[in-house]
Homo-oligomer: A and B are copies of this chain.
Amino acid sequence: MGRNCMNTLTFGLLAILLNQSLSGYDLMLKINTFWNIPHSRIYPTLAKLEQENYVSYIMIEQKGKPDKKVYSITEKGIIAVKEWILMPLDSSVKKDEFHLRVYCTHLLDKERAIKLIKEREENILKKIEVRKKRIEEIKTQCDNKIESTSSSYFSRYILISKLISEDEIEVKWCRWVMGLYNNEWGVNFLDMSFLEF
């Protein structure tokens, strides 16, 4: 009850509510940018946050759609986020099953290996398209200039830039690997020229 119930998910929800008041359903959609959480975790967590006064909600009746609870962050919630953002951050390794498969590519013949890498490349290219549309939306919303580092547009802009840069480097890596499979290498491939970007 009175014990500390704050975890990454609760801070994630509060972080999103900093910028706008949203329903549990919309929070679920938004938090999927950060990591995949199903609604089955969102709703009980919001109920808990509301009990502990980190958020409050109002019922909104809709026509043609079910009623919804629109949540807003409280003063207590804002203070909690400000404390959390400066807490020591553990740099744990993220689980990525693709990396585990890359570790086993030597088991595959050339065609199957290239298929694995090609599919990855295509998935990432699709992600980049979505993100570039998102960045255009942000630019439009703030009239093509970000007034200061204390604007939430700034945070969103630097984050999406990070995600795109990581995707772009992965596409380069995919192409480098496919090149290696197509014999575009000699004994000198170990000088890692791929990394000189």
Residues of A within 8 A of B (CB): 8, 11-12, 15-16, 18, 32-36, 81-82, 85-86, 89, 91-108, 110, 112-113, 116, 119, 123, 127, 135, 139, 144-146, 149-152, 154-159, 161-166, 168-170, 172-173, 176-177, 180-181, 187, 189-190, 192, 194-195, 197
Contacts and interface: CB of A to CB of B under 8 A. Distances in A.
Contact of A103 (B92, B159, B165): B159
Contact of A15 (B33, B100, B116, B123): B100
B33 A93 contact: yes
Given A85-B108, A94-B95, A103-B156, A173 B180 contact: no
B93 A112 contact: no
Q: How many copies of this chain does one complex carry?
A: 2
Looking at chain A's contact residues, is the secondary structure mostly helix, strand, loop, or mixed? helix
Q: Nearest 10 A-B pairs (CB), nearest first?
A: A35-B95, A94-B94, A106-B155, A169-B169, A102-B159, A197-B197, A105-B155, A36-B92, A91-B123, A145-B187
A123 to B, nearest CB: 5
20 contacts: A8-B100, A35-B92, A36-B92, A36-B93, A81-B104, A85-B104, A94-B94, A103-B156, A103-B159, A104-B155, A105-B149, A105-B158, A113-B149, A158-B177, A158-B180, A161-B194, A165-B194, A166-B170, A168-B195, A169-B197
A107 B85 contact: yes
Contacts of A36: 92-93
Contacts of A15: 100, 103-104
Contact of A35 (B8, B94, B139, B144): B94
